[in-house]
Structure 1
Amino acid sequence: MGARDTERGEKAAAEAGARFVQLDVTDDASVAAALARVDALEGRLDVLVHNAEISGDWVVDGPTAARVFDTNAVGIVRVTEAALPLLRKSDQPRVVTVSSSMGSFWAVTNPDRPEYGLTAALYAASKSAATMLTLQYSKSEPGIKFNALEPGFTSTDMTTGTGMTGGRPVEESARTVVQLATMGPDGPTGTLQDENGLLPW
């Protein structure tokens, strides 16, 4: 389990019965060190879950755009590129990206969807990028299944930190992550899904 904050990451890993590696997706050296440790401990990587994200506090300006995209999109590239050699050593490698329906053109232009009334320009654009990266990696790495998901409105540090309340528990939202991470060899790749299946984007 990787996390930028060592203290919180170690606590979460202990609760989950997992090993912890310090990982800051915006730092090349941190990413390289984390994957080197995984290599030393396991020699391969079966499942990679991208779930690092920030909202940028919904501010729209150049510096905030750089920070949001560095975490939500560029971070995916950093970690995936570093992880590919280990993923290729797995019999059934899976990469799951926690994206968002806020990055779905279909959802944000559909008056019947809640996303239609929300404005979060940088977050939404970065999630569009995250989903597109998922699709492109699925095409360039056919031996690895890459899928993205909309987890549903979830109570996380990001949502509560920006004043949003009423999200469902993380454990409930994680079900789709687990499903995509553990699916069999006939499962899909290059998709965006939610708990009900394929999500147009």
Structure 2
Amino acid sequence: MNEITLVTGANKGIGREIAAQLAALGHTIVVGARSAELGEKAAAELGADSVVLDVTDPASVAVAADAIEARYGRLDVLINNAGISRPPGTDLSNQRPASADVGTLRAIFETNFFGVVTVTNALLPLLRRSAAPRIVNVSSGAASLARNADPELAVHLPISAGYTPSKTALTALTIQYARELRADGVLVNAVCPGYCATDLNDHSGYRTPAQGAVAAVRMATIPAGGPTGTFVDDEGPVPW
């Protein structure tokens, strides 16, 4: 069966690579992007469909969900990839806990955490129509509590009251969705793409977006009855 897959934030970076790799596996891709122009451009290049989707705008998400229902009648895979490291025009130094700008932190959580809730809940009715529904949330290994609590490992991680906790919360949210939806056969997993060179970090990462997409693609293609409630990268489990 041809799988219908929505990837949020899929017009560039890791999201685009996830879309490209899944398209190569035969998935019908729906590119979710805030910009209609950029979404349509990426979709044309990928041989995909597109919807305007701003994860922070419930009305936009509802319209996108209606469009997917009208075109396809169901959704098989939802990949919550859209995320920000900081609002436009702000500096990462604004996220150090002792001097954090609360407005900045709220904006990050609005996209990275609440946006995932908004999108997931809007698309769940369509996912429930799938024979093998899967949700993949793109988190971050930098948000691992175990790694941040280890002095030797934490020295390599940013000190952040915004991006890092938002991704920690996303991983925890993944587990709660997995618990609730297990009985319905919806597999919900979180993935870590690694430190990839994208706009998120001003292209300072040492991995490529293509490498970063691997874990998400793998979890998007697990069969019915596969793992749920896990946090993995392309090498295996990531410590919580």
TM-score band, normalised by shorter chain = over 0.9
- Quick one: structure 1 residues 112 and 13, their matched pair in 2 at CA, closer, same or farther if it must change by over 3 Å? farther
Counterpart in the other structure of 2:238: 199
- Quick one: structure 1 residues 69 and 117, their matched pair in 2 at CA, closer, same or farther if it must change by over 3 Å? closer
Counterpart in the other structure of 1:146: 188
- Quick one: structure 1 residues 140 and 166, their matched pair in 2 at CA, closer, same or farther if it must change by over 3 Å? closer
- Residue 118 of structure 1 and its aligned partner are, at CA, apart by 2.0
Match of 2:44 among 11, 14, 23: 14
- Residue 16 of structure 1 and its aligned partner are, at CA, apart by 1.5
- Residue 29 of structure 1 and its aligned partner are, at CA, apart by 0.4
- Residue 166 of structure 1 and its aligned partner are, at CA, apart by 4.0
Q: Is the 8 A contact 2:198 2:204 kept in 1?
A: no
- Residue 129 of structure 1 and its aligned partner are, at CA, apart by 0.9
> Given residue 146 of structure 1, which amino acid in structure 2 is its aligned partner?
V
Counterpart in the other structure of 2:78: 48
Deviations 1:104-150 (A, max 9, x none): 11111224436654212210110011111110000111120000011
Provide the TM-score with structure 2 as the length reference.
Answer: 0.79
Spell out structure 1 runs of 4+ moving beyond 6 A.
none
The farther-off stretch of 118-127 and 86-95 is 118-127
User: What stretches of structure 2 of length at least 5 have no aligned partner?
Assistant: 1-30, 95-99
The CA RMSD over aligned residues, in Å, is 1.4
2:98 is equivalent to residue 98 of structure 1: no
Deviations 1:163-194 (A, max 9, x none): x5243221111111110000112321011101
- Residue 72 of structure 1 and its aligned partner are, at CA, apart by 0.3
- Quick one: structure 1 residues 12 and 116, their matched pair in 2 at CA, closer, same or farther if it must change by over 3 Å? same
- For residues 66 and 210 of structure 2, the distance between their equivalents in structure 1, rounded to whole angstroms, comes to 29
- Quick one: structure 1 residues 116 and 47, their matched pair in 2 at CA, closer, same or farther if it must change by over 3 Å? same
Match of 2:170 among 125, 130, 139: 130
2:54 is equivalent to residue 24 of structure 1: yes
- Quick one: structure 1 residues 115 and 86, their matched pair in 2 at CA, closer, same or farther if it must change by over 3 Å? farther
> Given residue 192 of structure 2, which amino acid in structure 1 is its aligned partner?
E
What percentage of residue pairs aligned between the two structures are identical? 46
